[in-house]
Amino acid sequence: MHKEFLMGNEAIALGALAAGVNLVSGYPGTPSTEVLETVARRNPGNVYVEWSVNEKAGMEVAAGAAYSGARTLVTMKQVGLNVASDPLMSLEYIGIKGGMVVLVADDPGPISSQTEQDTRTFGAYSKVPVFDPSSVGEAYEMIQEAFDFSEKYGTPVFFRPTTRIDHGYEAVEVKEPEDYRQTVPEGFIKDPARWVIFPRLAVKNHALIEERNARLCDTLSDYPRNTITPAEDPGSRKGIATQGISYMYTKDTKAAAEAWILRIATPFPFPEKLALEFLEGLDEVLCVEELDPVIERALIYVCGKYGKKVKITGKLTGHMPSSGENTREIVAEAVGRFIGQNRSGQAAGEGTAGQTPAAADEPTEATSLPEPPAAAADEPTEATSLPEPPALPVRPPVLCAGCPHRASFYIIKQAMKGEKTIYAGDIGCYTLGNAAPLDMCDTCLCMGAGIGIAQGVGRVEPDTRCFAFVGDSTFFASGITGTVNAMYNQADMTLVVLDNSTTAMTGHQPHPGTGRSAMGQAAGRVSIEAVLRGIGLTTVEVLDPLDFAGSVEAVGKIARQPGVKAIIFRSPCVAMTRPKGRAAVDPGTCTGCRKCIRELGCPGLILDEDGKRAKIDSSQCTGCTLCEQICPAGAISGGRKNDTCGEGR
């Protein structure tokens, strides 16, 4: 150990290095910028560092690495969190394997921002735990604890310094590089039930998150940085609840010694048990915090829940400024005023938690609400209730019969047979590629995220062939950013654009690549391949997914090239085209090997009445010819694929 005089952001960076961080991504934004710069400058040589093209891309790259067991850090300022919120909200539902810290530097004031936002509030909204340091030295230690906590509970966590912590200075005792934790990632383990965010998984995990956070309210009450400092007079019935740099300002205020002080280092989940202990024996509490009344609202809730008759004051009552940065002078004046108040008095009209005067129109014992009206005569009652309807059959969603995405997935699966791969999926029809027998969607987080996740996994496991799937509509919505990030940061991955010339899953809406607007007017069609070449990709191949043999050969060659390359599988959505022919199985030629059924999973392929040979359901067949091309006996014929894809193609 040795001492260094460090800026807060430098201390945070060195703390992350000491915690064994493997990957750091982020987007520059004051007051967060120096964290990533310091990691790059003090890199011991085993940490991957990148400036991502925006916060969303940085979040997705870090998520992919964390899926692989790496410890990752993402850096941004508070307005950058708005950009990163899309993957973050879903990431909390999915969880991570390695520790993942999302550093969001808040800017009360604001000093260099367009908004004042409080990440503590976003933590509660997103259900992501929040760590809130009070000093430069503590930030160095706390970020190491945040990584441990994240890894233990399998969740990303927020680390929320504010400008005065980020840009403050302190002599800090830091570890020698040889004493840094060495994190050896396990690698990505394929498990679609864990990494693909279908609604069923979201419902299950939401319940688990709520249960976990409820337990953490007690667990974090024992976290050593959540503290109660006794008043000089143990009989004092006044308390101050505070956090962050405001805690330091409060301690510097002489009058604060006359009150009990509750310091909250983990505002979410709120340490309820500790707060209850703090409130015991108090008459009133002043909340001193930046920016939102997070602690104030939490204490009002605790008072109501446990029937505590304690007056809680702060921003909501006008005892603290409702916006702006706290200063030593503001805190000293507020604390002095609070300590100097009449201990037994209360201003007229001021309520207390659990003791709010009833409004004139609120029901009292004498003016209770009327009984609800009786049920109408034709409404079922307990005596005349309807019988339970029979259970509906389970119908899991599948790709349509003849969907070109099925062919695209199958082609890549055959081309990469025997190789270590990851198939990072996306939101859309092609998410259904995760189902057996295709099994071609290893991850799914949010729109466009597969491109960043593939990059993150590739940074941790460079021996893995990384594929990222995206639809044509999603490419324009949020895929371009991730592709630029991959190109700029020299990733090694294959982007696969599944272009069916529509926004299929949501009802076939147009997009910039279709050549028409929402009002049906002709519009300038944006070429996906031109965009990709404009980004700088030199390998951009357009393939027909219904040309099986030719596409398998092409995919094998493209995927083995270094750097970022792109394959555009272009074929029209079958829901927008009429079949030109339907396939049929010759029962005399079919050997009953069932390869077409086992490997494609097309709902148009079924077994015959004897259950021995393949048969085609003509009501579903679109004549795509894929099954004809893979049948080893040549028993299927009659299909005729549609060769056009959208207007002007």
Its pTM stands at 0.88
Q: How confident is the model at residue 347 (pLDDT cuts 50, 70, 90)?
A: very low
Domain boundaries, the chain: 2-183, 222-339, 404-516+524-576, 584-637
Task: Tell me whether domains 2-183 and 404-516+524-576 share a fold.
Answer: yes
The answer to whether 225 and 109 have CB atoms below 8 angstroms apart is no
Which of 59, 71, 225 minimizes the C-alpha distance to 154? 71
Residues 497 and 501: their CA atoms lie apart, in Å, by: 11
Residues 276 and 302: their CA atoms lie apart, in Å, by: 7
- pLDDT surpassing 70 at residue 292: yes
Dihedral sign computed on CA atoms, order 601, 603, 605, 606 = positive
Residues 146 and 156: their CA atoms lie apart, in Å, by: 9
The average pLDDT across 461-490 equals 94
Torsion of CA 446, 450, 451, 457, to 10 degrees: 130
The answer to whether 273 and 294 have CB atoms below 8 angstroms apart is no
Residues 603 and 475: their CA atoms lie apart, in Å, by: 28
- pLDDT surpassing 60 at residue 266: yes
Tell me how long the chain is. Answer: 649
- pLDDT surpassing 80 at residue 520: yes
Name the phi and psi angles at 85, rounded to 5: -65, -25
Helix (H) or strand (E) holding 89: helix 78-94
Q: CA of 412: how far to CAs of 6, 325, 416, 495, in Å?
A: 51, 55, 6, 12
For residue 497, the model assigns a pLDDT of 96
Name every residue whose Cβ is closer than 8 Å to that of residue 29 and which is 6 or more positions away in sequence: 76, 77, 79, 80, 105
Topology of the domain covering 584-637 = Alpha-Beta Plaits (3.30.70)
- 492 CB neighbour count, 10 Å cutoff: 18
For residue 523, the model assigns a pLDDT of 85
pLDDT tens for each residue of 6-61 = 999 999 999 999 999 999 999 999 999 999 999 999 999 999 999 999 999 999 99
Q: How confident is the model at residue 379 (pLDDT cuts 50, 70, 90)?
A: low
- As a whole-number percent, the residues of the chain with pLDDT over 90 amount to 77
What class is the 2-183 domain? alpha beta
Q: Domain 404-516+524-576, what architecture?
A: 3-Layer(aba) Sandwich (3.40)
Dihedral sign computed on CA atoms, order 245, 251, 254, 257 = positive
The average pLDDT across 499-513 equals 81
The answer to whether 548 and 411 have CB atoms below 8 angstroms apart is yes
For residue 374, the model assigns a pLDDT of 56
For residue 373, the model assigns a pLDDT of 54
Greatest alpha-carbon span in the chain: 100
Residues 209 and 204: their CA atoms lie apart, in Å, by: 9
What is the SS3 assignment for 515?
Answer: coil
Chain-centroid distance, C-alpha 429: 21
Residues 648 and 22: their CA atoms lie apart, in Å, by: 47
CATH code, residues 222-339: 3.40.50.920
The answer to whether 91 and 65 have CB atoms below 8 angstroms apart is no
Residues 327 and 332: their CA atoms lie apart, in Å, by: 8
For residue 350, the model assigns a pLDDT of 42
pLDDT tens for each residue of 577-606 = 888 889 999 999 999 999 999 999 999 999
For residue 358, the model assigns a pLDDT of 38
Written as one string, the DSSP assignment of 278-306 is HHTT-SEEEEE-SSS-HHHHHHHHHHHHH
Burial of 595 (0-12, 13-18, 19+ CB in 10 A): middle
Name the phi and psi angles at 48, rounded to 5: -85, 130
Residues 89 and 128: their CA atoms lie apart, in Å, by: 9
Q: CA of 618: how far to CAs of 432, 585, 597, 606, 615, in Å?
A: 23, 11, 15, 11, 9
Q: And the tokens for 166?
A: 């980020």
Q: How confident is the model at residue 344 (pLDDT cuts 50, 70, 90)?
A: very low
Name every residue whose Cβ is closer than 8 Å to that of residue 357 and which is 6 or more positions away in sequence: 349, 351
Q: Which of 437-441, 474-478, 557-561 has the highest mean pLDDT?
A: 557-561
The answer to whether 629 and 600 have CB atoms below 8 angstroms apart is no
- In the chain, helix, strand, coil percent, each to 5? 35, 15, 45
Q: How confident is the model at residue 380 (pLDDT cuts 50, 70, 90)?
A: low
Q: What is the mean pLDDT of the chain?
A: 90
Q: Where do we find the tokens 């809730």?
A: 301
Residues 216 and 129: their CA atoms lie apart, in Å, by: 9
Provide the residue type at 437 as one letter: P
- 580 CB neighbour count, 10 Å cutoff: 12
Would you give the end-to-end CA distance of the chain in angstroms? 66
Torsion of CA 189, 18, 92, 35, to 10 degrees: -120
For residue 503, the model assigns a pLDDT of 78
The average pLDDT across 133-146 equals 97
Answer whether the bond into residue 293 is a cis peptide, omega within 30°. no
Name the phi and psi angles at 593, rounded to 5: -70, -25
Residue 432: DSSP 8-state: G
- pLDDT surpassing 90 at residue 485: yes
Q: How confident is the model at residue 524 (pLDDT cuts 50, 70, 90)?
A: confident
Written as one string, the DSSP assignment of 96-153 is -SS-EEEEEEB-SS-SS-S----HHHHHHHHT--EE---SHHHHHHHHHHHHHHHHHH
- pLDDT surpassing 50 at residue 525: yes
Residues 511 and 447: their CA atoms lie apart, in Å, by: 15
For residue 453, the model assigns a pLDDT of 96
For residue 174, the model assigns a pLDDT of 96
The average pLDDT across 505-525 equals 83
Least-confidence region, from 229-238, 362-371, 463-472: 362-371
Q: How confident is the model at residue 316 (pLDDT cuts 50, 70, 90)?
A: very high
Residue 196: DSSP 8-state: B
